[in-house]
Chains A and B, each alone.
Chain A
Amino acid sequence: MKKPNDVIIRSVTKVAVVIIFTFAINLFISGHHFPGGGFIGGLAFASGLILMFLTFDIETVRTYIPVDFKVMAAVGVLIAVLTGVGGMVLGAPFLSQSFGYFELPIFGKTELATAVIFDVGVALAVIGTSITIIMSIGDDR
């Protein structure tokens, strides 16, 4: 692939990626009460990564983000399954979720729900899988 002169897209990407990632994390966290969630958050995160792939080449991105996305996907599924099993250990049916309110140092009274852990699994699986597919197609020389 020839190297095009793309100063503008490079500069824009550097800023935009940060915004996209922040937005993705925000989407993920707000998922419990507002629009968002693991699936969308994960996809938004993945779209940020894709932008990086398009701007810089895959090798560069890979050296800076040395994550095996296949493993990430597997870890995601594992987390989701284990949250389900976790309920079983405590005597509840498989995939039972629970929630509660806790006083946390900075955030004050916060709701913590096990569904969020499940959602982390969903997000990781989505990111891992989509990036695995894109990387293997993009790498296909």
Chain B
Amino acid sequence: MSSWLHIMILIPFIFAIVVPYIYKQLTPRIHTGWFVLFIPLVIFAYLLTYIPNISEGNTFTETVPWIPAYDINFITYMDGLSLILGLLISGIGTLVILYSIFYLSKHREALNNFYVYLLIFMGAMLGLVFSDNIFVLYVFWETTSISSFLLIAYWYEREKSRYGAQKSMLITIFGGLAMLAGFILLSMITDTYSIREMISNSTDISSHSLFIPGMILILIGAFTKSAQFPFSIWLPDAMEAPTPISAYLHSATMVKAGIYLVARMTPIFGGAAEWFWLVTGVGLITLLYGSVNAVRQTDLKALLAYSTISQLGLIMSLLGLGSASFYYGVGTDSSVYAMAIFAAIFHLVNHSTFKGCLFMVVGIIDHETGTRDIRRLGGLMHLMPISFTLTVIGSFAMAGLPPFNGFLSKEMFFTAVLNVSTMSVFNAETFGLAIPIIAWIASVFTFVYSMILVFKTFRGKNKPEKLGRVVHEAPIGMLLSPLILGSLVIIIFFFPNVLSHYLLKPAMHAVVPMLADAGELKIKVSAWHGWNTELFMTFGVIVLGTLLYIYLKKWYRLYHLYPDDFTLNSMYNLSLEKMESLSKFITERYMTGFIRDYLVYIFSFIILVVGGAIWLFDGFSFDPSNDAPANFFEVGLMTAMVITAITVLFSKTRLTSIVAVGALGFLVSFFFVLFRAPDLALTQLVVETVTTALFLLCFYHLPQLRKEKSRIQFKVVNAIISIGVGVVVTLIALSANGNRLFESISSFYENSYELAGAKNIVNSILVDFRGIDTMLEILVLCIAGLGVYTLIKIRLTGRDENEEAK
């Protein structure tokens, strides 16, 4: 049976259909956002009701059969991890929509598109975190890629938006496909499609030969989605999207999908050295890369984008560090490492609050001053006091300073890296000290860019001449959402254990079930944890970070030493260019524009492959013993068909050949009549009528057929190919008739009346037994129809413009 959880996932999709109508009716009187707002709000409220149950360690599963024949069912599964993500998606979704109501003008913007994409995205995200079947998860995963493509390209008339959207789509879909392959491998190993079953069978899969390839493929998916190095390059370009989108997709939800996947898969892969090093290593590199690059950015949103990359790297590396606890099994050692998982989930929540807040404030600055360029901003502190306060809260949380929630999770991060440096498994002692050092350096840079964000924007001299407008504080509606997030940042700092008890612990329970079951998880977050190494590391970060910030001008030039041509971005652009020119080169070789050439290719291919197969495998067999004798009508029809076919060959005008081809089709339908297949005969008749009419319509516009003069070799080649194709097809027909490898399907459908209530077997096959084929066929038909329509219409308008230009 379907459940409320399923309906919750479907609601955004259903409402996405309604939004354009609301928009049409009410624009420009009421902002469409007000109607959309209640959807995430209701979902959020609904998810809140699960908290008491989930915090007691319960989980919920509901199944809706989807393709039970292939064991693919829409199973929703709720535990602490999915609940936390669900709350973030709906909660931040609510705030983002509230913010967007004030951010996007109801007069100028195409709000219908915006909210439709946003709702599709929201539904896909919810589906992703709540589905248990890996293929259902994959479907939602790619839906988020596609909807985020649409959202990034929201201002599609800008070239940069299109570029960014394409980039994000190419990279995330590439990762998604790799992940699909990984899922298939994983399901081959574990013999199930359900994540929960995979986890429960995970004990002996690490010795399987497909274990490592499957792991790597799945990680590619997770890394591309979560913008891990080197796939991170799409995230800065995705900043071309409107700010509400950046806040939503690129801080709170979509980029967290990869984190979610890694956390979800940790019980399956955790404990393997490859998993540990890949996830930790990539996470640490991303952390360092993002934080170092964030400092050099001059665009506020780009700075935030790189900081997101770096923070995602931090969470990812924590998940990797925590996976070591699976190596130890149940015990004190493992619960020490499991704290890293806790820190990861904790930081995930914290990051969503402060980064969401920061993105919204940057959007406000952009909205009010008209620029996001740090070099033009400055001295806004007195003009925008609330925004300033919010930026301070968000940035200081990001830098890991008290009294903000980022401090708590950052201290736990330091604890985790310090623990690992003394670890004796996975050859950790070789790299032991490197991990805390990388983490510490990255934290210094994090501190520096957080300070840049606050002080370069709000302190210093106001430069009104560079802004060209009078700056004042944003309307309260726009400030509301960041205010809520900003206050959460502080509330979480003072009451971390409430959050920890109700949400983080159950989430951790989902990632490290064996520890939780053994009662080994005793977590208490406290702001003051004594004079320990972590605290001194933080002092070091503050001191060195402040020095680096003050002397920023002195060492900033170091960034210019790095050659521009060697960046990942230019490599991406280059590979795209090369791919285009290569495919153009290849395409130009065979796309000659003559149908005759294409037919030559197709037919030669058929002769080679099919004829070759018949010859190689000795596939030809001719057995006329079962054949019924041909009667008078059949012989007559056949003769007529041969004559019409020859007429096509030798006809001088196009009209004659069209009519002859049509006649050939009608004659085939007579055969169907003879063999008592009235359905086929009818279909054939109607199709033949319509296509002949269509042909005539098309050919009306073509010039007269000219007698073609071609060279003799040409004719010889054509003749060989056409005779070859004829021979091959005849051989296939004969041997297909001679070999009955499979049972006839007709007996299978004899009970069509009992099963489908239909006496017409053909139709019951079409609409009932193989309904999905038909459904997809008509879909393809529709797409083809729209394709023809748009091709012709676009060409028409293009021509009109040219004519006007003359």
Q: Which residues of B contact A50 (CB under 8 A)?
A: 690, 693-694
Q: Are A119 and B789 in contact (CB under 8 A)?
A: no
Contact of B64 among A34, A40, A80, A88 (CB under 8 A): A88
Closest chain-A Cβ to B403's Cβ sits at a distance in Å of: 49
Q: Are A136 and B778 in contact (CB under 8 A)?
A: no
Q: Are A91 and B792 in contact (CB under 8 A)?
A: no
Q: Which residues of B contact A93 (CB under 8 A)?
A: 65-69
Tell which of B489-497, B705-713, B780-788 binds the partner. B780-788
Q: Which residues of A contact B693 (CB under 8 A)?
A: 47, 50-51, 54, 134
Residue A33 interfacial (CB < 8 Å) = yes
Interface membership of chain A positions 48-85, coded 1 if the CB is closer than 8 angstroms to chain B and 0 otherwise:
00110010000000000000001001101100110010
Closest A residue by C-beta to B677: A35
Residue A43 interfacial (CB < 8 Å) = yes
Contact of A43 among B65, B686, B762, B772 (CB under 8 A): B686
Q: How many residues of B contact A (CB 8 A)?
A: 49
Residue A19 interfacial (CB < 8 Å) = no
Give bound CA distance, A114 to B460, whole Å. Answer: 71
Contact of B690 among A43, A70, A77 (CB under 8 A): A43
Q: Are A125 and B68 in contact (CB under 8 A)?
A: no
Given A88-B66, A126-B781, residue A39 in contact with residue B758 (CB < 8 A): no
Q: Are B68 and A115 in contact (CB under 8 A)?
A: no
Q: Which of A81-120 contact B (CB under 8 A)?
A: 81, 84, 88-89, 91-95, 97, 99-100, 111, 113, 115-116, 118-119
Q: Are B789 and A136 in contact (CB under 8 A)?
A: yes
Q: Which of B644-694 contact A (CB under 8 A)?
A: 678-679, 682-683, 686-687, 689-690, 693-694
Q: Are A70 and B786 in contact (CB under 8 A)?
A: yes
Q: Are B756 and A40 in contact (CB under 8 A)?
A: no
Tell which of B522-530, B635-643, B763-771 binds the partner. B763-771
Residue A130 interfacial (CB < 8 Å) = yes
Q: Which residues of A contact B616 (CB under 8 A)?
A: none
Q: Are A126 and B796 in contact (CB under 8 A)?
A: no
Q: Are A136 and B792 in contact (CB under 8 A)?
A: yes
Given A36-B760, A77-B779, A91-B64, residue A118 in contact with residue B767 (CB < 8 A): yes
Q: Are B679 and A138 in contact (CB under 8 A)?
A: no
Give bound CA distance, A74 to B768, whole Å. Answer: 21
Q: Which residues of A contact B64 (CB under 8 A)?
A: 88, 91
Closest A residue by C-beta to B769: A97
Q: Which residues of A contact B476 (CB under 8 A)?
A: none
Q: Are B686 and A40 in contact (CB under 8 A)?
A: yes
Residue A137 interfacial (CB < 8 Å) = yes
Residue A13 interfacial (CB < 8 Å) = no
Q: Which residues of B contact A92 (CB under 8 A)?
A: 65
Q: Which residues of B contact A88 (CB under 8 A)?
A: 2, 64-66, 74
Q: Are A129 and B782 in contact (CB under 8 A)?
A: yes
Size range of the chain A interface in the assembly = 35 or more
Please report whether the interface of chain B is mostly helix, strand, loop or mixed according to DSSP: helix
Give bound CA distance, A27 to B785, whole Å. Answer: 24
Given A70-B786, A122-B774, residue A99 in contact with residue B757 (CB < 8 A): yes
Closest chain-A Cβ to B696's Cβ sits at a distance in Å of: 8
Give bound CA distance, A122 to B781, whole Å. Answer: 10
Residue A133 interfacial (CB < 8 Å) = yes
Residue B793 interfacial (CB < 8 Å) = yes
Q: Are A115 and B758 in contact (CB under 8 A)?
A: yes
Given A40-B679, A137-B788, residue A32 in contact with residue B758 (CB < 8 A): yes
Closest chain-A Cβ to B788's Cβ sits at a distance in Å of: 5
Given A80-B775, A84-B771, residue A140 in contact with residue B686 (CB < 8 A): no
Q: Which residues of A contact B788 (CB under 8 A)?
A: 132-133, 136-137
Q: Which residues of A contact B470 (CB under 8 A)?
A: none
Q: Which residues of A contact B683 (CB under 8 A)?
A: 39-40, 43
Residue B630 interfacial (CB < 8 Å) = no
Give bound CA distance, A89 to B65, whole Å. Answer: 10
Greatest chain B CB density within 10 A among A51, A54, A137 is at: A137
Q: Which residues of A contact B778 (CB under 8 A)?
A: 76-77, 80, 121-122, 125-126, 129
Q: Which residues of A contact B760 (CB under 8 A)?
A: 31-37
Closest A residue by C-beta to B683: A40
Q: Are A74 and B766 in contact (CB under 8 A)?
A: no
Q: Are B759 and A34 in contact (CB under 8 A)?
A: yes
Please report whether the interface of chain A is mostly helix, strand, loop or mixed according to DSSP: helix
Residue B697 interfacial (CB < 8 Å) = yes
Give bound CA distance, A117 to B690, whole Å. Answer: 25
Q: Are B782 and A84 in contact (CB under 8 A)?
A: no
Closest A residue by C-beta to B792: A136
Residue B29 interfacial (CB < 8 Å) = no
Closest A residue by C-beta to B793: A136
Q: Are A35 and B679 in contact (CB under 8 A)?
A: yes
Q: Are B786 and A81 in contact (CB under 8 A)?
A: no
Closest chain-A Cβ to B661's Cβ sits at a distance in Å of: 17
Closest A residue by C-beta to B771: A95
Residue B698 interfacial (CB < 8 Å) = yes
Given A36-B760, A40-B683, A80-B774, residue A97 in contact with residue B781 (CB < 8 A): no
Residue A25 interfacial (CB < 8 Å) = no
Q: Which residues of A contact B781 (CB under 8 A)?
A: 73, 125-126, 129
Residue B1 interfacial (CB < 8 Å) = yes
Q: Which residues of B contact A35 (CB under 8 A)?
A: 678-679, 682, 760, 762
Contact of A97 among B1, B771, B786 (CB under 8 A): B771
Contact of B763 among A32, A73, A91 (CB under 8 A): A32
Give bound CA distance, A73 to B789, whole Å. Answer: 12
Residue B108 interfacial (CB < 8 Å) = no
Greatest chain A CB density within 10 A among B772, B788, B789, B793 is at: B789
Given A44-B686, A70-B786, A73-B785, residue A37 in contact with residue B67 (CB < 8 A): no
Q: Which residues of A contact B779 (CB under 8 A)?
A: 77, 125
Contact of A134 among B67, B686, B697, B775 (CB under 8 A): B697
Q: Are B784 and A115 in contact (CB under 8 A)?
A: no
Given A36-B679, A73-B782, A89-B2, residue A97 in contact with residue B767 (CB < 8 A): yes
Q: Which residues of A contact B682 (CB under 8 A)?
A: 27, 35-36, 40
Give bound CA distance, A126 to B779, whole Å. Answer: 10
Q: Are A133 and B785 in contact (CB under 8 A)?
A: yes
Given A46-B690, A77-B782, A94-B66, residue A113 in contact with residue B679 (CB < 8 A): no
Residue B701 interfacial (CB < 8 Å) = yes
Q: Which residues of B contact A54 (CB under 8 A)?
A: 693, 697
Closest chain-A Cβ to B803's Cβ sits at a distance in Å of: 12
Q: Are B698 and A84 in contact (CB under 8 A)?
A: no
Given A43-B690, A125-B778, A125-B782, residue A115 in contact with residue B756 (CB < 8 A): yes
Q: Which residues of A contact B767 (CB under 8 A)?
A: 37-38, 97, 115-116, 118-119, 122
Q: Given contacts A77-B782, A84-B771, list 13 more A-B pairs with CB under 8 A.
A: A31-B763, A32-B764, A37-B679, A50-B690, A81-B775, A88-B74, A91-B2, A91-B65, A93-B67, A95-B775, A122-B766, A126-B778, A133-B694
10 A-B residue pairs with CB within 8 Å: A31-B763, A35-B679, A37-B763, A38-B766, A76-B782, A93-B66, A95-B775, A113-B758, A115-B756, A137-B788
Residues of A within 8 A of B (CB): 27, 31-40, 43-44, 46-47, 50-51, 54, 70, 73-74, 76-77, 80-81, 84, 88-89, 91-95, 97, 99-100, 111, 113, 115-116, 118-119, 121-122, 125-126, 128-130, 132-134, 136-140
Residues of B within 8 A of A (CB): 1-2, 64-69, 74, 678-679, 682-683, 686-687, 689-690, 693-694, 697-698, 701, 756-760, 762-764, 766-768, 771-772, 774-775, 778-779, 781-782, 784-786, 788-789, 792-793, 796
- The 8 A-B residue pairs with the shortest CB-CB distance, nearest first, are A129-B785, A99-B757, A33-B759, A125-B778, A35-B678, A37-B763, A93-B65, A43-B686
